[in-house]
Amino acid sequence: MANITAALVKELREKTGAGMMDCKGALNETNGDLEAAVDWLRKKGLAKAAKKAGRVAAEGLVAVESAGRHAAIVEVNSETDFVARNDGFQAFAREAAKLALNTDGSLEGLEAATFPGSSDTVKDTLSNLIATIGENMTLRRVAKLEVAKGVIASYVHGQINEGLGKIGVLVALESEGDVEFLSTLGRQIAMHVAATNPTALDASGVDAAVVERESNILREKNAGKPDHVLAKIVESGLKSYYKEVTLLEQPFVHDGSKTVTQILKEAAGKAGAEVTIKGFVRYALGEGIEKEEAPDFAAEVASMSR
């Protein structure tokens, strides 16, 4: 039997909102497999759909740089928030985002670019910064968006300096309409993305494995019903799921009575041309990175005495 630690139970509780004993029971049933335990709880009706956004924070900064019809976003991690407020660290993150505008959008391409004011690459510059500050840092990821006509809007949440913060969003709006109007609309949609964290633009962009997982959960929760009824339940359940996780189907945070799709249709009249979202990127600092927690010595000693 797997060793079900208090930390594992805590993580499952944070993912699902289920009670402690339910979480412990789920982990025992699934031999300590966290994702399987999430599904087990959901099948029992004890948890909501688990959101994949990382819950464990890592320090550093998300930096965005926008230049009209093209923009870039990067995440640079550090060990402590203290270093994230260092002027040298912030300058590096800002320059990395600017450089990313003229790369192929890959991490490798950015690392190989020459850092302004030196003959060093971005990768070597970061190594020098690590040696100077004395704390480990990583250039974790980068993305770039472009449109032939329209704007790339950006938004930074938790901003601590221009273009630097804890959550960064880019939204690509393709349109021949009024640029000023598109910029305002794009920023509103970027704020929406920051708040709701959609996983895809529409249903076609949702990972097939995720769709299958949701379908299986719906089938198991309704096991025993006739096949034709079950098929309708799965279809209806997936439609509800898409409304939660796809940008175009979500209720717009600035007007909950309308979906983002409806907002775009209305925007066409104001912009003077059709408006289409060609893509978006949302980086939340440290999502998916697990930081090692300090050991709970009291609990460890207590467990040893049992």
pLDDT digits (tens, 9 = 90+) for 93-135: 999 999 999 999 999 999 999 999 999 999 999 988 887 887 8
pLDDT at 287 (0 to 100)? 87
The pLDDT of residue 297: 42
What is the rounded distance in angstroms from the CA atom of residue 296 to the CA atom of residue 299? 5
Report pLDDT for 301.
Answer: 41
Q: Is the pLDDT of residue 292 over 70?
A: no
Among 148, 145, 184, 106, which Cα is nearest to 279's?
Answer: 145
- pLDDT of 80 over the 90 cut: no
Specify the CATH superfamily of domain 59-200+261-284. Elongation factor Ts, dimerisation domain (3.30.479.20)
Each residue of 17-26: pLDDT tens digit? 777 888 889 9
**What is the average pLDDT value for the chain, to the nearest integer?**
88
Helix (H, G, I), strand (E, B) or coil at 290: coil
CA distance 229 to 208: 23
Listed residue (281, 255, 282) closest to 267, CA to CA? 255
200 CB contacts (<8 Å, ≥6 apart)?
Answer: 206, 207, 245, 246, 247
All structural domains of the chain with their residue ranges: 1-50, 59-200+261-284
pLDDT band at 51 (very low <50, low <70, confident <90, very high): very low
What CATH topology corresponds to 1-50? Helicase, Ruva Protein; domain 3 (1.10.8)
Span 32-36, mean pLDDT? Answer: 89
Q: Residue 98: what pLDDT?
A: 96
pLDDT digits (tens, 9 = 90+) for 180-191: 999 999 999 999
Q: What percent of the chain has pLDDT over 70?
A: 91
Residue 144 reports pLDDT greater than 90? yes
What are 197-232's pLDDT values in tens digits?
999 999 999 999 999 999 999 999 898 889 899 899
